[in-house]
Structure 1
Amino acid sequence: MPRVTFIAADGTVTEAEGDIGQSVMSIAVNAGIEVILAECGGACACGTCHCYVDADWVERLAPPSESEAAMIECVIAPKPESRLTCQLRLSSELDGLVLHLPAAQY
């Protein structure tokens, strides 16, 4: 099972495993990552699953879709490495993915 490392704003590290094809948002929710609110349930409609992709991983991900990019514009403190975890699907190539979490979603 591929692993994802979540690094909270305070430096707390949580590692979680998921199934190939599973959204990173659902992995975070299942792992108890409280800052991933996932209010829309993964419909790319709220931005409450925002994260920052670690610099070592940014180029390994496909660019965000138009709808994801538009939603990212609405989050607190967006950065070039901002993504929505609901739009990231786990694959064997993403085993070890590192994501940094914002202090709050809104």
Structure 2
Amino acid sequence: MIVTSATIGLPVSDLQEAEKWYRRVFELTAPSVEPAPGVLEIVLGPIELQLSEEPTARSGAQLVLRLGVDDAPAEYRRFSDLGVSLGPLEHVDGAVDYFDFTDPDGNALSLYSLA
């Protein structure tokens, strides 16, 4: 089997507000697609992010969406300027820079760049 694409689904409580947040934070300009009522797909780099309006309560393990970027420290500063609540910027010598954060619905996200 050869995987040719990936779609990541995240639950959100308010689809319109979630779309606004993701567009602002990730600087998205491509149009979204609504493949079904209460579901919105937007292109996020090499993946499609599928936001679905549904209960966001957690019951057990939680997915963490980790996204590679060119410069995690620069994105950390930009996200901070946007008012996104961030975990610390971590640096692992010779390996990676990364930070964790959540969207307004508590979905766990992380950005990283190779050091």
Normalized against structure 2, the TM-score is what? 0.28
Q: Point out the structure with max Rg over C-alpha.
A: 2
Which structure has greater strand proportion?
A: 2
Q: Which has the higher contact order (CA 8 A, sep 6+)?
A: 1
